[in-house]
Amino acid sequence: MKKLFALSLAVLALLSFDAKACTRVVYKGPNGNIITARSMDWKDEIAANIWVFPRGLSRSGEVGPQSVQWKSKYGSVIASAWDIATTDGLNEKGLVANVLWLVESNYPKFDPAGQKKGLTISAWAQYVLDNYATVAEAVNDLKDEPFVLVSDYIPGTQKFTTLHLSLSDASGDNAIFEYIDGKLVIHHSPKYTVMTNSPTFGDQLALNNYWAGIPGTVMLPGTNRAADRFVRASYYINAIPQTEDTRTSVASVFSVIRNCSVPFGISSESEPNISSTRWRSVADQKNKVYYFETALTPNTFWVDLKKFDLSENAKTMKLDLTNHATFSGLSNDNFKESKPFTFVGI
C-alpha cells in the first residue's frame, strides 16, 4: 500500500510539471510505412518557412574559430524558425530530426580558445540531417561527442535555449538525445516513438508505464501538460489503423498530433509555459513526402522531396510562409531559389 501511495505521489508530481509544449510521435505501419509527426507549440508567433537543401552545402557550427565545419551528404526539406534555426526536417534517406523544448537541459561548457570543436544549437538538427542516413549511424557517431553543443539566449529575449533532439528513420528506429547536468544522455530503441517536453525522457517513460495499466478507452489524462500529451500520444498512435495505405495512415497520424495539440489562443497566467500550437508537420519516411499545416491558414500542403534536384551545386529552394501565405496540396512548384540562411551562433 505504501508503494502504491508513493507511486501515486510521483505520478501527480509529473502531471503538475510545468513545461514548454510540443509533441513528437512515430507511426509504424506494415511494409515499411513509417511516419513521424510533431507539433510546434510556442507562446508567441514563430516565423516558419520551408526550405529544401541540396547535397554539398558548406556549413559552419557558427561559434567562432573552433566551429565544426562540414558539407551536407544528403539533401533535406526542413522547417526553419525565424530563418535562424532548423527545428524539424526530413532528409532524402528518410531520417527525421525534431528539436523540442526541455527546460532541464544543461550543456557542457565550451571554450572558444580550446581544442574541442563547437556547434551552435540552432544547427543541431540540420547537422544530423546533413550527415546521417540512419538513427544507428547518428548514435554511433554522436555518442563520442565530436563537438560541444553551444546554446545561447533566443535573440531579443531573456530566454536561454534548452532543447532535446529526437531522431527516427525509415526502418522505424528511434533515439532521443538530451544533455543533463552537462552530460549527453542517449535513449536508443525502436520503441521510443513518443517524446514531449519535461520531464526528462526517462521520467516520461516511467509515467507512461503507470498509465499503460489503465485502458485508454476508459480514461486518459486530458490536460495540455507535456506528461499528459505523452500518454495520449502513446495510446492513440497504437490505436489508429495499421495500414500501408498512405492516405489513411497520414490522415490517422495527423489526427493523433492534432489530439495532442494545444488549442490556438490558449494562455494561462498561472501556467505561462503552456503554449498554443503554431504548426504541425508530418513526415512520410517511406515516400519522402513532408506535410505541413499552420494554425492561421486553412489548408494542409505537402512537399515531395523526390521531385527536387538534390545534387551537389543544385539550388537551395524556399517556400515563404510569411504573412500567412496559404498553400494547398503538392506545393513543390511554389518554391523559389534562395540563399541558405545563416544559423544563429555566438
CA distance 125 to 250: 23
260 is catalytic: no
Residues in the chain: 346
Handedness of CA 138, 140, 143, 148 (dihedral sign): negative
Handedness of CA 37, 80, 104, 264 (dihedral sign): negative
- The pLDDT assigned to 211 comes to 57
- The pLDDT assigned to 232 comes to 85
Closest Cα to residue 112, out of 162, 147, 163, 153? 147
Enumerate the H helices of the chain as residue ranges. Answer: 2-15, 124-131, 135-142, 201-211, 226-239, 246-259
CA distance 55 to 51: 13
- The pLDDT assigned to 214 comes to 58
Q: What are the CA-CA distances from residue 284 to residues 112, 195, 247, 302 (Å)?
A: 39, 18, 11, 10
When the pLDDT of each residue in the chain is averaged and rounded to a whole number, the result is 88
Closest Cα to residue 330, out of 272, 297, 298, 290? 290
CA distance 301 to 299: 6
Contact 123, 341 (CB under 8 A): no
CA distance 147 to 321: 33
CA distance 306 to 46: 28
The active-site residue, picked from 14, 22, 52, 125, is: 22
- The residue ranges of the chain whose pLDDT is under 70 are 1-20, 206-219, 222, 267-274
C-alpha cell at 226: 507535456
CA distance 338 to 51: 9
pLDDT tens-digit readout, 138-176: 999 999 999 999 999 988 888 899 999 999 999 999 999
Contact 292, 78 (CB under 8 A): no
Gap between the terminal Cα atoms of the chain: 53
Residue type, 143: K
Q: What is the pTM of this model?
A: 0.88
Q: In sequence order, what E strands does the chain have?
A: 22-28, 34-41, 48-53, 58-60, 69-71, 76-81, 85-91, 96-101, 118-120, 148-150, 163-168, 174-180, 183-188, 194-195, 277-284, 289-294, 301-304, 317-319, 329-330, 336-337
Look at residue 148 and give its three-state secondary structure.
strand
pLDDT tens-digit readout, 111-128: 999 999 999 999 999 999
Is the backbone peptide bond immediately before 30 cis, with ω within 30 degrees of 0? no
Q: What percent of the chain has pLDDT over 70?
A: 87
Contact 285, 168 (CB under 8 A): yes
C-alpha cell at 129: 540531417
**Which residue reads 526528462 in cell numbers?**
200
Residue 282: how many CB atoms within 10 A of its CB? 25
- The pLDDT assigned to 210 comes to 55
